[in-house]
Amino acid sequence: MNGIKKILLGLLVILIIIQFVHPARNKSGQAMPNDISKMVAMPGDVQGILKKACYDCHSNNTNYPWYTYVQPMHWFMDYHIHSGKEELNFNEFGTYTPRRQQSKLRSIENSLKDGTMPLFSYTLIHRNAILSEAEKSLIINWVQNSKDILNKKNL
């Protein structure tokens, strides 16, 4: 066997072995007393958009597509879920300080205006997470309203 074949065979063995190593899935299935919808009304269309485009990385419940059953895709997705949730978790929004809530809402608005969210690597596969201008303005309007409502609540 020449060198290249040995390396390829080695890689194949590693690929097979890592198929058996999976991190715990991000699925809580529990009641969410601190969900953002408990603080501000969330119309169905807003929720639908956030669910399809943001919740996989910014909530406690990820909808895992088939390819995340293949390693190393699961690790890749898991890494994004982990860092995404750390920055912003819609299901834990009520645990944030009023100041942090305002700043997160502002970041959501900016991320949509700048097109930095959802992550580009995610929309490569999740084509329906690419938001139309109408969908973006719906979310932006809702975010602006929510900012006002929460501001008044915390006066």
Rounded Cα distance, 149 and 124, in Å: 35
Q: Counting contacts by CB under 6 A, is residue 143 touching ligand HEC?
A: no
In the window 110-139, what residues touch ligand HEC (CB under 6 A)?
A: 111-112, 117-119, 122
Least separation in angstroms between residue 2's CB and ligand HEC is 40
Choices 1-9, 10-18, 67-75, 84-92 (CB under 6 A): range interacting with ligand HEC: 84-92
Closest to ligand HEC by CB, 16 or 125: 125
Question: Hey, what long-range contacts does 121-124 have (CB within 8 A, 24 or more apart)?
Answer: 121/80, 122/56, 122/57, 122/80
Least separation in angstroms between residue 118's CB and ligand HEC is 4
Which phi-psi region, left, alpha or beta, contains residue 11 (left: φ > 0; alpha: ψ -120 to 50)? alpha
Yes or no: say if 48 and 106 are a contact pair by the CB < 8 Å rule. no
Total residue length of the chain: 155
Q: Which residues contact 129 (CB under 8 A, 6 or more apart)?
A: 52, 53, 118, 122, 123
Q: Which residue, 82, 38, 41, 37, is CA-closest to 60?
A: 82
Choice from 87, 115, 141, 149 touching ligand HEC (CB under 6 A)? 87
Closest to ligand HEC by CB, 32 or 59: 59
One character per residue 26-65, x = contact with ligand HEC (rule: CB under 6 A): ---------------------------xx-xxx-------
Rounded Cα distance, 123 and 148, in Å: 31
Choices 20-28, 34-42, 68-76, 106-114 (CB under 6 A): range interacting with ligand HEC: 106-114
Residues that bind ligand HEC (CB under 6 A): 53-54, 56-58, 80, 83-84, 87-88, 104, 107-108, 111-112, 117-119, 122
